[in-house]
Chain A
Amino acid sequence: MSLATLFTAAFLVPLFQTTLRSTTILLLTALGGMFSERSGVVNIALEGMIIFGALTAAVSAQLLEAPYVAKHPGIHIWWIPWVAVLLAMIVGGFIGWIHAVVSIKYKADQIISGTAINLLAAGLPSLVLVYFYDNATNSAEVTNRLPEWFGFSPLVYLAFALVPITWYVMFKTPWGLRLRSVGEHPEAADTMGINVFRTRYTAVIISGMLAGLAGAYLSIGLLNQFVRNMSAGQGFIALAALIFGKWHPLGVLGSTLLFGFAKALAIQLGGSDIMPPTIIEAFPFVITMLVLAGFVGTSRPPKAIGKPYEK
């Protein structure tokens, strides 16, 4: 494989498509994480939330379709993947609620609480899989995946559409202003009559729902089953993208595109002799560290991030 092949359509078109697909997961997760972190709650549990979302989507879709598929193998029922997506969002939101209760109500260290959820996501799925499928590593295959519109899953369009929507909600609505004020100066916000706790709860739950959505895209959009550890650190990359993107929707779009591109490049170059894929895969992590250190632009977090609010 020579360098010239890199500039042919046969290489570039799939590269473009893979970039959009791998960006989608990061974008959904990072935009969700933005709500949580802008409200002052560190969400390191994004990784776990993706996994729970992916698990819920795959298992619920499979269980819902099972009676139909048993009668007519290969039958396509349009509503099944959408119900599965909804359930994934609900479960993601529930995990977010747990994170919120522990870190807001019980004033736990938010990073430890998030780490606990990530540890839970490493163990619990296997128990669920063994219960339903007698198999600790993957679920049964789902026939009714998410549909594709013009080559991409609807969730891809949704993810990119969410960028302007989040921007509008965050910077142009009163609720967004309240959310940001809670993350910057909760005491002042409280004095102004804003319910700090409720705002934070809502933000963390939204974050969990969007991460659950990303998980659903991963298991029944990209693939057709749940595989153990399938998110493979994308929740952490999304967190890094959030920081790299300076907690701003447009910045997040840029950083997730960059990281998604790096991932797509690593996939497309796998097996070629241009560049070892392991090196390309490490690239987003190195970039993030450089950004954090301030070598590539500066990134200022919300002021009250990580601190439990004492009334």
Chain B
Amino acid sequence: MIRPSWGATEGLCVRIGGVNRLWLALTSAIFLLLLAISPWAVAMRAFGGKGVLITIWGTLDLYGRAKAMPDVSWLGYFTVFWVVLALVAAALAFVPDAKSRARYYYVLGLVGLAVFALEAFLFYHAVWAANNAALAAGARRPPLKRYSLSLGAYASLLYSLLLLMIGRLQLPGGRALLVRWRGVVVPVVSMLLAMVAGAVVVWILRDVKLPEHASLLNYYTAKLDLVTYTFQLLFGPLLTASGWFQSLLIATPLIFTGLAVAFGFQAGLFNIGAPGQLTIGAIMAMLVGVHLASAHWFAGLPYGVARAIFLPLSILAAAAGGAFWGAIPGWLKARYGAHEVINTIMMNYIAASVFLFMIASNEYTFFGKWTLHMPFKFPGYEGRSYEVAESARIPLMVNLFGFHQDASGAWTGSLSWALPLALVALVVAYVLLKRLEMGKRLLLALGASVVGYFIGGFLPGIPMHLSSRLASVRLNGAFIIAAFAVAFYNYYMWRTRDGYELRAVGLAPKAAEYGGISIAKKTILAMAISGALAGLAATHYVLGGGIDEYRLKQSLPTNVGFDGIAVALLGQNTPIGVFLSALLFGVLSTGGLQLDLQLGISRELVMMLQALIVLFIAAGGFLPRYFTDPILAAQAEEGVQGVL
């Protein structure tokens, strides 16, 4: 919530060793204010978000029918502690010696963390005690459900962490360290700012219902609870297995499109055409997976052989379709100097037209005379293709883990060792074969993982019950392809000569050209690979049944191509960053469903958050120039005088 920033108010007050007293006073004041007016914890919450709030002033019961309450009489003592802590922290800014100041702040921060942990323990203990007492008194089920800490407690945690960071900043090179971590600092600050903006929107959009005779303070407390609950719901999927599965499901296409955009960025190209590349990839996957795989001259093939041919072939077709659609604007830029942004946008619309042309109807008449017949649309009102042949389908993740659905629809089977062993073999081989050169190392590691997969497949599995909730999530093997795409991106960009040259073109095109690199070739290549990555997202939707059916459907959500821009920017174009930010957006989208259900806030809030994150990252998180300007940042890291 609180953004430490230095340098913005230069001249207004004296700086001591990098910490600006004004900012420290401000953050301390905001912390105390939050502690005073926000709910500290929620004892229970009913469906629809009405909660029984615990504040430092007492209980605020918005639900009205609470049957039990945890005993939190100790909260007052801790409040006094936090007030004292904040005052001491503010006073410490006047200690003249930087080293002792740093030490004091470290101590304060650590004490704060310990006290926070103690508070959390006491709270949960009190809730369990209240529940047990009610159960012992004959209640059928525990009266306190969906209890949690709330904004007041979170604020004290954040404040303790802030004190630790301030301590580090007192020491020499503190701010240079922050600048070195700008790849994390800028996205995190942008995300926090976007969350604050989202909180304001929620505050405005949703009204709260208060009990009678409520004071203005109660109104603010209830509003802050609403805001906190919104974000608790958004991040809620992280707490359940099915939430993780659903988040990964949404993240899978985002990983592909995020990588596609990031790949372009590395080569200095802005590929805004991922939606179109995805569409063409989906069409190609459909052509191979539906029409080639079930063509009558392949009907005699045994299932295993057909699978070995058509599954890889249709995946490659998706990549090839995307690559083709990406290479065109690349070629136009290389050959004619036409800017790729406009061209990729145009090609999005052309792809959408092609898609609609193929999937919306099977018969077109031209000039009232000639009729064109096409075999692609499945009969019926809805625009969708025929089903993908069995041999070209990507299995569901639960299938890969060894579970199967029988005729009655129930899930049986046991957790197979195949996938875990394959992963372990891959990692072990990769780590052990450090001495080999990269290509051989990768090849052998992949071989080891295949061996691990088969060995694991023959081992008896762990009998396990699969919850129907988990089984209903259609997370499929496309996620594994996505994981490989992340690894490929990492390998190609930072471990091969081609990748090095691409990045050189992106960073300094003129220098790269003097170095003997053909910019034209690199542009086409980069756009083609970028397009291929976007096209692979189609494997999730068409071959993996990501939208409920193994078909190409008119409801293909091509917008994930645009979301890829947000993913790439938030992930700062690094492989791990792209993966994590795709996961984050997957979590937020999954939580957005709950948001709609519980609070009636449209899930478009998540889209708004994404947009704001992009906007704020574009503005460098509104941080000082030495964070955002590469040259200034490098000077700051090197400790050049006068930069910080």
- B-binding residues in A (CB < 8 A): 1-3, 44, 98, 101-103, 106-109, 111-113, 115-120, 122-127, 130-131, 136, 233, 236, 239-240, 243, 273-276, 278-279, 281-282, 285-286, 288-289, 292-294
Contact = CB atoms under 8 A, between A and B. Distances in A.
22 contacts: A3-B368, A113-B618, A116-B614, A119-B607, A120-B612, A127-B601, A130-B602, A131-B204, A233-B349, A273-B368, A275-B366, A278-B357, A278-B360, A279-B357, A281-B349, A282-B350, A282-B354, A285-B349, A289-B347, A292-B336, A293-B332, A293-B336
B611 interface: yes
Interface stretch (B83-91, B130-138, B418-426, B562-570): B562-570
B345 interface: yes
A180 B29 CA distance: 49
B353 A116 contact: no
B332 A289 contact: yes
B285 to A, nearest CB: 21
A124 B608 contact: yes
Nearest to A130: B602
Closest 6 CB pairs of A and B: A123-B607, A119-B611, A116-B615, A273-B365, A108-B618, A282-B353
A123 B604 contact: yes
Nearest to A123: B607
B270 interface: yes
Contacts of B619: 101-102, 106, 108, 113
Contacts of B608: 120, 123-124, 127
Interface string B345-370: 11101100110110011001111100
Interface residues of B, number: 54
A109 B610 contact: no
A201 B26 CA distance: 32
A294 B205 CA distance: 49
B343 A289 contact: yes
Contacts of A101: 619
Contact of B353 (A107, A122, A123, A279): A279
Interface SS majority for chain A: helix
Contacts of A117: 611, 615
A240 B346 contact: yes
B546 interface: no
A127 B618 contact: no
A136 B595 CA distance: 14
Contacts, number: 154
Contacts of B205: 127, 130-131
B405 interface: no
B529 to A, nearest CB: 21
A152 B548 CA distance: 46
B99 interface: no
A240 B339 CA distance: 11
B604 A136 contact: yes
Contacts of A125: 604
A288 B346 CA distance: 8
A111 B340 CA distance: 12
Contacts of A293: 332, 335-336, 338
A171 to B, nearest CB: 25
A243 B349 contact: no
A3 B367 contact: yes
A239 B360 contact: no
B620 interface: yes
Interface string B39-70: 00000000000000000000000000000000
Contact of B614 (A112, A136, A278): A112
Contacts of A136: 602, 604
B262 to A, nearest CB: 13
B201 interface: yes
A113 B366 CA distance: 43
A82 B296 CA distance: 65
B602 A292 contact: no
B607 to A, nearest CB: 3
Given A118-B562, A130-B205, 13 more contacts: A111-B270, A112-B270, A112-B618, A117-B615, A119-B566, A123-B605, A136-B602, A274-B368, A275-B366, A279-B353, A285-B349, A292-B332, A293-B335
A124 B602 CA distance: 10
Nearest to A4: B368
B124 interface: no
B310 to A, nearest CB: 29
Contacts of B565: 112, 115, 119
Contact of A243 (B332, B342, B569, B607): B342
Residue in A123, A126, A131 with the greatest tally of chain B CB atoms within 10 Å? A123
Contact of B620 (A108, A116, A118, A122): A108
B611 A120 contact: yes
Nearest to A291: B338
A109 B602 contact: no
Contact of B342 (A98, A122, A239): A239
Contact of A119 (B201, B341, B562, B600): B562
Nearest to B600: A130
Contacts of A289: 332, 338, 343, 346-347
Contacts of B204: 131
